[in-house]
Amino acid sequence: MADPGVPVGAHVERILGSVTPLAPVTVPLGDAVGLVTAADVTAAVSLPRFDHAAMDGYAVRAADVASARPGAPVALPVAGVVAAGDAVEPVLAPGTAWRIMTGAPVPAGADAVVPFEWTDRGRAQVRIDDAVPVARHIRRAGEDVVEGTVAVAHGTVLAPRHLALLAAVGTAAVSVHPASRVAVVVTGQELAVPDTELAGLPGHIPDSNSVALVAAARAAGAQVTAYGPVPDDTRLLLEQLALAAETADLVVTTGGVSAGDHDVVKAALRDREGFWFGSVAIKPGRPQGAGAVTASDGRTVPVVSLPGTPVAAYSSFRLFAEPALRVLAGQRPDAVVRAILDVPVDVAADRTLVLPATYVAPGRVAQLAGHVGHSQRLLAAADVLLVVPPGDAPLAAGAEVAILPLGLPA
């Protein structure tokens, strides 16, 4: 009877056991997109920084124009003009108006802005056709963010909107966990780099795992270096692994982890302290390995060893390597996304199934027809992978299921 394998969650936990967030660095906002804040960021200046006009028009005291009605206007002398960027601190005397542009500081003493459309746009004197309530068309200092309060919290994945907010509250640089460095080491003497002329090389196939995993790690925000293909030789593999660990925060290997005569990754690492090779209760992706090596500078570099079969390599990367990348980046390891099944799916009693599926409507997914376990064509055609945990009965239409989205992050 085959080993049922350890549960998916237990294997994730094993990997995360040797992963800690990367030490924070301070980077300019322009370099921070996609990185995670390592501390709360407080506002250096309020937003808005000062009371400013929200419309082009006239700053007034609301009381001075309270009697204005269409047909019974009020006239006020215009004391001056202030535009956005004028380095002035104007003062409004009672019974006067300042001509003011959107974004300009509201003169002290004014408490409302009358838009041009309600006036004759006069320059020396202005006719105001209607009353305005106090505070109308003024954006108050600090009404959005008050100086000294938290603008962006610790643990935020910095998107363009967060960077804009940080800039707006006077922040030029931010403390973040740096982008992780991932080494992808593919193994297998059958592998040829993709532009190799295969005609004279019977038994060889294009290396697609390097392409997939380099791109997947980049899409997850990592800086990636590819090593290999490494032939089935433990000495060469250990050399490449040691080299890879020197400049990586995580090493991902593919191939050579099952039961064959040439399963080089397992042969090279299985007896090392801290390494584990065995079965995970999942299909595809049953044979897996994990451990850590020590770089020459003393860093512990986690190693995630994925099976070579391309669909298993990709889905295992998403399930087992990405949580480690999230932790390195300062995020929570899990990023569970769910969808509703449009049609039932079979489950397995003893293992998680990973199945290609497409969206049939927003939030509703259906397994792709013709699933044969290792089809790279179906993986490429899918929108999501269903992650169906072990169970006793098929999951019904309408049931919620965890998914791995396959699109690129927005």
Ligand X SMILES: Nc1nc2c(c(=O)[nH]1)N[C@H]1C(S)=C(S)[C@@H](COP(=O)(O)OP(=O)(O)OC[C@H]3O[C@@H](n4cnc5c(N)ncnc54)[C@H](O)[C@@H]3O)O[C@H]1N2
Q: Smallest gap, in angstroms, from Cβ of residue 236 to ligand MOO? A: 25
3-state per-residue secondary structure call for 205-264: EECCHHHHHHHHHHHCCCEEEEEEEECCCHHHHHHHHHHHHHCCCEEEEECCCCCCCCCH
Q: How far from 29 is each of 141, 157, 168, 243, 330, CA to CA, in Å?
A: 24, 13, 11, 32, 17
Residues 180-199 that bind ligand X (CB under 6 A): 186, 188, 190-191
By beta-carbon proximity to ligand X, the closer residue of 287 and 330 is 287
Candidates 10-18, 202-210, 321-329, 386-394; binding stretch for ligand X (CB under 6 A): 202-210
User: Residue 260 binds which entry of ligand X, ligand MOO, none, with Cβ cut-offs from 5 to 8 Å by kind?
Assistant: ligand X
- According to the binding rule CB under 6 A, does residue 47 interact with ligand X? no
* Strands (DSSP E) found in 181-249: 181-187, 191-192, 205-206, 223-230
DSSP state, residue 161: H
Binding residue for ligand MOO, selected from 48, 73, 291, 307, defined by CB under 6 A: 307
- According to the binding rule CB under 6 A, does residue 309 interact with ligand X? yes
Beta bridge partners, 187, equal 230
Rg of the chain over Cα atoms, rounded to whole angstroms, equals 31
# binding residues, ligand X (CB under 6 A): 25
- According to the binding rule CB under 6 A, does residue 255 interact with ligand MOO? no
- According to the binding rule CB under 6 A, does residue 289 interact with ligand X? no
Binding residue for ligand X, selected from 64, 207, 249, 342, defined by CB under 6 A: 207
By beta-carbon proximity to ligand X, the closer residue of 53 and 183 is 183
User: Do strands 352-361 and 337-341 pair parallel, antiparallel, or not at all (unpaired)?
Assistant: unpaired
- According to the binding rule CB under 6 A, does residue 312 interact with ligand MOO? yes
Binding residue for ligand X, selected from 259, 349, 393, 410, defined by CB under 6 A: 259
- According to the binding rule CB under 6 A, does residue 351 interact with ligand MOO? no
Residues 256-295 that bind ligand MOO (CB under 6 A): 283-286
Spatial separation of the C-alpha atoms in residues 335 and 352, rounded to whole Å: 17
Spatial separation of the C-alpha atoms in residues 131 and 114, rounded to whole Å: 8
User: Residue 191 binds which entry of ligand X, ligand MOO, none, with Cβ cut-offs from 5 to 8 Å by kind?
Assistant: ligand X
Least Cα distance to 278 among 13, 6, 16 occurs for 6
- According to the binding rule CB under 6 A, does residue 309 interact with ligand MOO? yes
Please give the helix or strand (H or E) that residue 379 lies within, else none: helix 376-381
- Cβ neighbors of 343 (< 8 A, separation 6 or more) are 366, 367, 397
What residues line the site for ligand MOO (CB under 6 A)?
Answer: 283-286, 307, 309, 312
What residues line the site for ligand X (CB under 6 A)?
Answer: 186, 188, 190-191, 205, 207-210, 254-260, 263, 284, 286-287, 307-310, 312
